[in-house]
Amino acid sequence: NLKQSNITNFFAKS
Amino acid sequence: MLEGKFEESSLMKKVVDAIKDSVKLCNFNCTEHGVTVQAVDDSRVLLISLLIGEASFEEYRCDRNITLGIDLESFNKIIKNGNSSDFLTLIAEDSPDNVLIIFEDKKKDRVSEYSLKLMDLDSDFLQIDDMEFDATITMPSSEFAKITRDLKTLSESLQIIVTKENVKFSSDGDFGTGNVVLKGFVDMDKPDESIKIDMARPINLTFGAKYIADIVKGTSLSESVTIKLADKSPALFEYKLPSGFLRFYLAPKFDE
């Protein structure tokens, strides 16, 4: 089973 | 004050069409260099990054940075009212409550003016550093749109596999499977029809098909689309504008 990852986990808030 | 005039309203129409199903509310950040938007969809899977460069406008001035908080559904209702070939001018004061949207037909015998109320939107800005990608594919945008629509009918996931020789789009659903394999080739007469595959490392990534179906709504913006992929990282889908780009960063699916 595949789980959808979250885009905000890949980029830091600035 | 912002005053931006497009030679044709069609560019803005296409931009709004391309993003309105992914995000509802977003800030249009206007600077002397042009207009940028960064927005994340509600499910926080897809990030949109738009640059409409100053050179995309026939006339452009923005003395001070201005943020336009726009409800895209409302904006779309207004923007659809102009003919594609009309001049489109956007006007806003510094710290504006609304933006003026003016359509003029080329003969100047009809001028339509609308005002759109702006919203005060909170937005987190994400820092997107230059990413390193393992594979880059450039292909006709319409072909990518068709492949996406076709394979989405089988499964809610779409797999992209890149090897040295080719790129394979694949879906595996309850009632069957499907895949489309493309090889790189150069069309000398119509360069936009070419397919270019650059691969440093083989790639095998899976994405939500519905998000890619939203991404291909950018198809009308550009004859070709560039897809950049890296292992265990968001994919970048880019449609180039006359001056600027519409980029979608899509988070992949992983094994649980």
ipTM: 0.95
Contact call for residues B184 and B197 (beta carbons, < 8 A): yes
**Position B153 confidence tier, pLDDT thresholds 50, 70, 90:** very high
Of residues B194 and A12, which shows the higher confidence score? B194
What's the average model confidence in pLDDT over B127-149? 95
Nearest residue of B to residue A6, measured between CA atoms? B45
pLDDT of residue B124: 77
Closest Cβ–Cβ partner in B127, B157, B255 for A14: B127
Residue B210 pLDDT: 97
User: In chain B, whose CA is at the least distance from the CA of A13?
Assistant: B126
Res B204 pLDDT > 80: yes
Determine contact, residues B27/B112, Cβ cutoff 8 Å: no
pLDDT of B125 reads 87
pLDDT in tens, B230-239: 999 999 999 9
Answer yes or no: is pLDDT of B256 > 80: no
Is the pLDDT at B123 greater than 80, yes or no? no
Average pLDDT of chain B?
96
Task: Tell me the pLDDT band of B165, cut-offs 50, 70 and 90.
Answer: confident
Residue A14 pLDDT greater than 80, yes or no:
no
pLDDT classification of B69: cutoffs 50, 70, 90: very high
pLDDT band at B61 (very low <50, low <70, confident <90, very high): very high
- Decide if A3 and B208 are in contact by the 8 Å CB cutoff: no
The whole-number pLDDT of residue B41 equals: 95
Chain A residues with CB-CB distance to B234 below 8 A: 7, 10
Phi (first) and psi of residue B139, to 5 degrees:
-150, 165
Q: b/e map of B161-179 (b: 16 or more CB within 10 Å)?
A: bbeeeebebbbeeeeeebe
Q: Return the pLDDT at B52.
A: 98
CB-CB neighbours of B220 under 10 Å: 18
CA distance linking residue B2 with residue B163, whole number of Å: 47
Classify the phi-psi angles of B244: left when phi > 0, otherwise alpha if psi is within -120 to 50, otherwise beta: left
pLDDT grade for B139, boundaries at 50, 70 and 90: very high
Question: What share of residues in chain B are helix, strand, coil (percent, to 5)?
Answer: 20, 45, 35
Of A2, A7, A11, the CB nearest to B255: A2
Q: Which residues of A touch B126 (CB under 8 A)?
A: 8, 11-14
Pair B59, B88: CB distance under 8 Å: no
pLDDT tens by residue, B212-227: 999 999 999 999 999 9
What mean pLDDT comes out for the span B145-156?
A: 98
Q: HSE-up of B108 (CA within 13 Å, CB side)?
A: 0
Residue B25: predicted pLDDT: 96
Q: Label residue B108 by pLDDT band (50, 70, 90).
A: confident
